Structure 1
């Protein structure tokens, strides 16, 4: 009769499941709300197209256009509000009709409470929706092992300067 390995495998599987349940139960959930100052034109531009398809205009609606982002992250919607960090990353127009973008963004904190910590946000965003939800896929420092979601909501938009104020609501579970 051949030896059976089902008992050790079941015990190991149960141990892993128990570990995951304990970590999920012990995770703390919190919500953070910040405002991005997103400026697409002028001297203080924080979103810049860096590459696109030859022969096409590089814009938010043109497939293949890639932007780099360095938006101030503020406590309130006012541009005079306290800055707590920067939203730095890449936005790529990924749908042929220009409706979807793929966002890879790091929130890099420089305030006293979270200095040196980061949150990593990533996902596909339907850019014409007022509310856009993306995944929080990790973090560093105070946000190590963070998971959750981030909702981007355009609060205001000024067409001549291409200045958007975007409310960023981040809901996190941190073990």
Structure 2
């Protein structure tokens, strides 16, 4: 009887070990990304366009939507939030071919310098990327010559996108606040 119990215990231990090994190989934690099924090889795309942030005139593309009580006294406009639906064009000329729209917001997020929190979708409306979009989320230090922000995702041809966007101010009107910003975006996608 002792031999039978020993063999039964040994069988149960081996069986449980087998179950643990098999389940460990097939179990996916919710934090682990699933492999991309049905996607081809990753590629890198470079996009270059101009962002027209128009605060003035009869049809602005950027409008202030919120501000803290102290924003008016702040030299950095800390606390102000601006919604955008800015055109993205092929050249700095606002009448050049429309490439897409920058839709989202930027918030003046620093008490020390002119730094924005940018949360935008670049929604493309022409060319091979028509119907696709890229998500940008990051810090934009406005007075720096070149600012770099992360690409945090995308849709359409840019599903699973990651990369970076570099912004360079092409023109800025101190009186109106209107700006034209050149964007160079490098993105890895399928």
TM-score tier (shorter): 0.7 to 0.9
Greater radius of gyration (CA): 2
**Structure 1 residues 41, 60: closer, same or farther in 2, change over 3 A?**
farther
The residue number in structure 2 matching 1:68 is 83
Change (3 A) 1:49 1:123: same
Unaligned runs of 5+ in 1: none
SS at match of 1:138: strand
Give the C-alpha shift of residue 58 in structure 1.
8.6
2:62 maps to 1:47: yes
Runs of 4+ in 1 over 4 A off after TM superposition: 1-13
Work out whether 1:87 is the aligned partner of 2:102: yes
Matched, 1:104 2:119: yes
Q: Normalized against structure 1, the TM-score is what?
A: 0.82
For structure 2, the 5+ residue unaligned runs are 1-9
Please, what is the CA RMSD of the aligned residues? Answer: 2.7
Higher relative strand content: 1
User: 2-side partners of 1:130 and 1:146: how far apart?
Assistant: 26
Bigger helix share: 2
The two structures have a TM-score, normalised by structure 2, of 0.76
